[in-house]
Amino acid sequence: MIASDADLPPRLGALTFHGPLSEERAARLVRRIAATGPADVLDIGCGWGELLLRVLDAVPGATGTGLDIEAGDLARGRALAEERGLGDRAVFAEESARGTARGPVDAILCLGASQALCDPELPHDPARALRELRRLVRPGGVVVLGEGFWERTPTEEELAGMWPGARVGDHFPLGGLVDLAIGAGFRPVWIETAGREEWEEFESGYRYDAELWLAARPDHPLAAETRERVDRQRSSWLNGYRNVLGIAYLTLVATAE
């Protein structure tokens, strides 16, 4: 017997954004991007493209392309675009962003997805990701980068509680991250970081639907796998990167060549 979608563990339905981003901050980011009047927008690791769709709604005539490899998220994005009357201006492509030729454009969104621009066989390299972003944006264009940074150097115990293989070199301090952006050919016109409430909203929302599903179906064939996944995610946050890992939202403008 094939299970219906209603019987399967839900995927991130409680989240508006796939990251610790409040409605208030999102609105400010959209206004800042819209003020530049972009004709075309690229969203790298777009998920369902919520911020991309809000930018398109704020900039009549602009077109947008979202890149991701998660088919379910892309389908959600296409449905949202149709609901909002943006289906003819938004493309959601199931493809890797690594080495993409979908540039240059006037504006880029890359929120928690810079790894999509790097070699997956190598340690994550924010400097390389920033150089790729600079390649993909026109001079004077704007990039909104959501990138992890260390609020402080994590202890060995905290690293052990994070994702598998977590190490101090996975991220930079905020100042070091901004220096990398400048070195890649950007000026950092706005620097802001996610607050504790945004993190808690995201981390709890990430698991919310799955936790409800597990509570109602403790003996489901997929319950053990789902329970292990959400328990691991919750433990990584609470026992590892909570109040250690930050997310910076950098609004960057590409310098003239």
pLDDT tens per residue, range 79-91: 999 999 999 999 9
pLDDT of the residue at 8: 82
Q: What is d(CA 156, CA 167) in angstroms, rounded to the nearest whole number?
A: 9
CATH number of this structure's domain 8-198+235-254, picked from the four choices 3.40.50.410, 3.40.50.150, 3.40.50.300, 3.30.9.10: 3.40.50.150
Q: Please check whether residue 186 is in contact with residue 253, taking contact to mean a CB–CB distance below 8 angstroms.
A: yes
Render each residue's pLDDT in the chain as its tens digit; 257 residues: 344 556 788 889 899 999 999 999 999 999 999 999 999 999 999 999 999 999 999 999 999 999 999 999 999 999 999 999 999 999 999 999 999 999 999 999 999 999 999 998 888 899 999 999 999 999 999 999 999 999 999 999 999 999 999 999 999 999 999 999 999 999 999 999 999 999 999 999 999 999 999 999 999 999 999 999 999 999 999 999 999 999 999 999 999 97
The CA–CA distances, whole Å, from 123 to 117, 118, 126, 147, 168 equal 12, 9, 10, 15, 12
pLDDT of the residue at 29: 98
pLDDT of the residue at 4: 53
pLDDT of the residue at 257: 73
- Find all residues with CB under 8 Å of 181, minimum gap 6, and list them: 130, 145, 188, 250, 252
pLDDT of the residue at 6: 62
Q: What is d(CA 48, CA 28) in angstroms, rounded to the nearest whole number?
A: 20
pLDDT of the residue at 192: 98
- Sequence length of the chain is 257
Q: Please check whether residue 227 is in contact with residue 214, taking contact to mean a CB–CB distance below 8 angstroms.
A: yes
Q: What is d(CA 108, CA 85) in angstroms, rounded to the nearest whole number?
A: 22
pLDDT of the residue at 100: 96
pLDDT of the residue at 1: 37
Secondary element (H or E) of residue 106 = strand 105-111
pLDDT of the residue at 2: 44
